[in-house]
Amino acid sequence: MAYLELDRVAKQFGTQTVVDDFSLSVGKGEFISFLGPSGCGKTTTLQMIAGFLDPTRGAIRLEGKDLTAIHPAKRGLGIVFQSYALFPHMTAAENVAFGLEMRGVPRAERSERVRAALAMVGLAGYEDRHPRRMSGGQQQRVALARALVIKPSVLLLDEPLSNLDAKLREEMQIELRQIQRTVGTTTILVTHDQNEAMSLSDRIVVMSQGKIEQIGTPQETYERPASAFVSQFLGKTNDFAGTIDRTVAPTQLVAGSWRAPAPAGLGGPVTVSVRPERIGFGDTGLSAKIITRIFQGNHWLFQCDSECGPAIVIRQNDGKAQPAEGDAVRLTWRPEDMSVRVRAGA
Amino acid sequence: MSMAAEERSLRAPWVLTAPALMLFVGVLLIPLAMTVMLSFHDWGQYKGIEPVFILKNWHEIATDPYYAEMFWRTFRIAILTTLLTALLGAPEAYILNRMSGRWKSFFLLVILGPLLISVVARTLGWALLFGGNNGLVNKLLISLGLIGSPIPFMFTETGVVIALAHVMMPFMVLSVWAALQRLDPQIENAAMSLGAGPATIIRRIIMPQIMPGVLSGAIIVFSLSASAFATPAIIGGRRLKVAATLAYDEFLNTLNWPLGAAVATLLLASLVLIVVGSNALIERRYAEVFR
């Protein structure tokens, strides 16, 4: 049974629809990411779960109970804000203790739980520091401890890592995942960073312009993008214009001089999506010319001009000789490495 | 860099600030020093001012209870005015901050309005509203049967405090407003998600964070109220003298300039002490909030 359920939730500001027809069921203990560019409605959806905004339509249920009928202060959700929103006039320990105090937890138990929560996020010994005297990463940990110490039914993370530098962000990602696994709290993360979403979540909800584009595991959304938007947003991809040729038997999928048996159920003009790391150089296939070749340590990045438009190829640096700039090459890939969609508007 | 160039670049800040510095010294420091010196001079009904060094004026202020009462009144009015502006101004700024765009700018203008009108015109307006038996408010209250006789407003401390609070309100609102701008916009949501109700949020989260703004507003309001002239002069009149009106009377009516100078100097010195002292206290108390 679904633990947290969003049922055709929509939010309108005036005439503008910010979130539309958002349905999702989250299992207990699951880590879900809302992924999308800014303005796609992911934060609005999170705020509706938190109760800071009321949905215009639809229902949000937690363990079968209507969540929208409960005041935000009574929902018992843990929230980590993008700005952390720590209380600057309180020490780290006082910040973490605040939620427990509001719940009337006795003093002795309170200080024990605060100490444990700060230790869990690696801040033992920082109890008496004020937030303004802590680094961004430390503040982030206090915010996480403050949200988790109340044993929330759902943990909501609103772009929690976006204010950290790249290296710290990576560290915090690993730590966040570990803490979430240990505590087992159902978690929803809002992010615009596809790497973050992929490395942290059990499932990703890809959003664009207020609508869900795809819900799936990180691998599914990467390997089998449901739409052009998803394939473009999650990592780099090559989109080639192709057609299904029914004049030959068996029917063939043709993109330039690359051809393969056509997948069933499709016809007419299509878009062939292939990830750059799945393309190899072969004797047959799409003919192309290498424009630039960039060495990136563990791999080579090739920008090519193919007969179906620009293409990017990534090859592992396995020590073998690679084609040089200006070389004429043939691009080839296995049929199972591509996803084929009917071309929109054609 | 050569020695000469280095010397020139060291001199440049002094040369560049010299005009402003000279103006500052000429129109502020010199008259101030002359006032302090004047307070030590002698004065007599028939001999006028005598440039000698005596402590007569200071002795008179220290021993005559009239001056103690007058200074006490001055600071009592300033303290009450400060309390009134803080009690009304802080909530006012908070509410203003939560308003949406157009209303916010309209009400901000309403609050800043008093600054755009001459103090004299504004205070005379208060006198017309509340003054004596013919004041509009008193007439209304009497005709409604709410009060039997008019509430005294003119020549009372209450009247001076109310009128001063109105004049000083913008300084408090702006100061608290500035503190509110520093608040994390999500801070109330954060407190709410942890289970805090609206009253708790204001008491435990908002108040401690805007307190430095309230206190710095209080310093401004206090020092301006203690040295205010026009409002106490019109509402308080001759019957209810404060330090500023007393100094004025000594200078222009009694023509006892040295005594007036002593009153003015004492007012200035005590204000500077109070302001500097409380500022240091506030900075120490709220150090962690502003780091």
Residue contact B288–A76, C-beta within 8 A: no
Mean pLDDT (chain A, rounded): 90
Q: Which two tokens stand for residue B249?
A: 């009377």
pLDDT at B3 over 80: no
Backbone φ and ψ of B111, nearest 5°: -70, -40
Given CB atoms, is A50 within the 8 Å cutoff of chain B? yes
Q: Coil, helix or strand for B207?
A: helix
Judge if ipTM > 0.85: no
* Helix extents (H) in chain B: 3-24, 30-38, 56-63, 65-98, 101-116, 119-130, 136-143, 157-181, 187-193, 198-200, 207-226, 230-231, 243-249, 257-285
Q: CB burial class (10 A; 0-12, 13-18, 19+) of residue B17?
A: exposed
Given CB atoms, is B280 within the 8 Å cutoff of chain A? no
Rg of chain B (C-alpha set): 24
Given CB atoms, is B65 within the 8 Å cutoff of chain A? no
Mean pLDDT (chain B, rounded): 89
What percentage of chain A reaches a pLDDT higher than 70? Answer: 99
- From A50, which residue of chain B is nearest by alpha-carbon distance? B193
- From B186, which residue of chain A is nearest by alpha-carbon distance? A85
Nearest to B195 among A85, A102, A133 (CB): A102
Give chain B positions within 8 Å (CB) of A78: 193
What percentage of chain A reaches a pLDDT higher than 90? Answer: 61
Min mean pLDDT across A36-45, A266-275, A296-305, B100-109 is at A266-275
Closest by CA position to B171, among listed B232, B114, B122:
B114
pLDDT value for B11: 86
Q: Which two tokens stand for residue B275?
A: 């302001």
Domain(s) labelled CATH 3.40.50.300 in chain A stretch across 4-231
- Of A47, A75, A79, which to mutate for an interface test with B (greatest number of B Cβ within 10 Å)? A79
The minimum CA-CA distance between B90 and chain A, rounded to whole Å, is 18
Is B249 domain-assigned?
yes
- SS3 labels along chain A: CCCEEEEEEEEEECCEEEEEEEEEEECCCCEEEEECCCCCCHHHHHHHHHCCCCCCEEEEEECCEEHHHCCHHHCCCEEECCCCCCCCCCCHHHHHHHHHHHCCCCHHHHHHHHHHHHHHCCCCCCCCCCHHHCCHHHHHHHHHHHHHCCCCCEEEEECCCCCCCHHHHHHHHHHHHHHHHHHCCEEEEEECCHHHHHHHCCEEEEEECCEEEEEECHHHHHHCCCCHHHHHHCCCCEEEEEEEECCCCCCEEEECCEEEECCCCCCCEEEEEECHHHCEEECCCEEEEEEEEEECCCEEEEEEEECCEEEEEEEECCCCCCCCCCCEEEEECCHHHEEEEECCCC
Q: CB burial class (10 A; 0-12, 13-18, 19+) of residue B222?
A: buried
Q: CB burial class (10 A; 0-12, 13-18, 19+) of residue A252?
A: middle
- From B290, which residue of chain A is nearest by alpha-carbon distance? A132
Give chain B positions within 8 Å (CB) of A148: none
Is B125 domain-assigned?
no
Rg of chain A (C-alpha set): 24
Give chain A positions within 8 Å (CB) of B197: 73
- From A97, which residue of chain B is nearest by alpha-carbon distance? B194
User: Alpha-carbon distance B76 to B239, whole Å?
Assistant: 16
Is B31 domain-assigned?
no
Give chain A positions within 8 Å (CB) of B208: 89
Number of domains chain B is built from:
1
Which residues have C-beta within 8 Å of that of residue A104, sequence separation ≥ 6? none
User: Alpha-carbon distance A188 to A65, whole Å?
Assistant: 19
Backbone φ and ψ of B154, nearest 5°: -65, 145
pLDDT value for B132: 67
Given CB atoms, is B69 within the 8 Å cutoff of chain A? no
| pLDDT band of B205, cuts 50, 70, 90 | very high
pLDDT at A346 over 50: no
pLDDT at A344 over 80: no
pLDDT value for B281: 87
pLDDT at B291 over 60: no
pLDDT value for B290: 55
Is the preceding peptide bond at A250 cis, omega within 30 degrees of 0? Answer: yes
Residue contact B195–A78, C-beta within 8 A: no
Nearest to B194 among A89, A102, A133 (CB): A102
Given CB atoms, is B200 within the 8 Å cutoff of chain A? yes
Given CB atoms, is B132 within the 8 Å cutoff of chain A? no
The minimum CA-CA distance between B204 and chain A, rounded to whole Å, is 10
Residue with tokens 């890592």: A161
User: Alpha-carbon distance A283 to A332, whole Å?
Assistant: 8
User: Alpha-carbon distance A110 to A135, whole Å?
Assistant: 25
- Of B183, B187, B189, B194, which to mutate for an interface test with A (greatest number of A Cβ within 10 Å)? B194
Residue type, A65: K
pTM: 0.81
Beta bridge mates, A61: A5, A66
Give chain B positions within 8 Å (CB) of A76: 195
The minimum CA-CA distance between A121 and chain B, rounded to whole Å, is 18
CATH of the domain at B155: 1.10.3720.10
User: Alpha-carbon distance A255 to A238, whole Å?
Assistant: 12
Asked whether the beta carbons of A78 and B193 are under 8 A apart, the reply is yes
Asked whether the beta carbons of A33 and A158 are under 8 A apart, the reply is no
Containing structural domain, residue B282: 39-120+149-290
Asked whether the beta carbons of A256 and A286 are under 8 A apart, the reply is yes
User: Alpha-carbon distance B85 to B103, whole Å?
Assistant: 22
- Ramachandran region, residue A184 (left: φ > 0; alpha: ψ -120 to 50; beta: rest): left
Backbone φ and ψ of B197, nearest 5°: -85, 170
* E strand or H helix at B184: none
Mean pLDDT of A245-260: 82
Is B74 domain-assigned?
yes
pLDDT tens digits, A129-179? 999 999 989 999 999 999 999 999 999 999 988 888 888 888 888 889 999
User: Alpha-carbon distance A184 to A253, whole Å?
Assistant: 46
Q: Which two tokens stand for residue B189?
A: 């949501």
Is B53 domain-assigned?
yes
Residue contact A72–B291, C-beta within 8 A: no
Is B5 domain-assigned?
no
Is B80 domain-assigned?
yes
How far is the first Cα of chain A from the last one, in angstroms, to the nearest whole number? 42
- From A129, which residue of chain B is nearest by alpha-carbon distance? B288
Nearest to B195 among A84, A85, A103 (CB): A103
Measured at the alpha carbon of residue B233, what is the angle toward residues B232 and B236, in degrees to the nearest 5? 60
Q: Coil, helix or strand for B152?
A: coil
User: Alpha-carbon distance B172 to B160, whole Å?
Assistant: 18
Mean pLDDT of A82-93: 94
Spell out a b/e string for B20-49, using b for 16 or more CB atoms within 10 Å of the CB, else e.
eeeeeeeeeeeeeeebeebbbbebeeeeee
pLDDT at B139 over 90: no
Give chain A positions within 8 Å (CB) of B205: 87
Nearest to A72 among B184, B192, B289 (CB): B192
CATH hierarchy code of domain A4-231: 3.40.50.300
Is B15 domain-assigned?
no
Q: Coil, helix or strand for B110?
A: helix
B205 DSSP assignment:
I
Given CB atoms, is A160 within the 8 Å cutoff of chain B? no
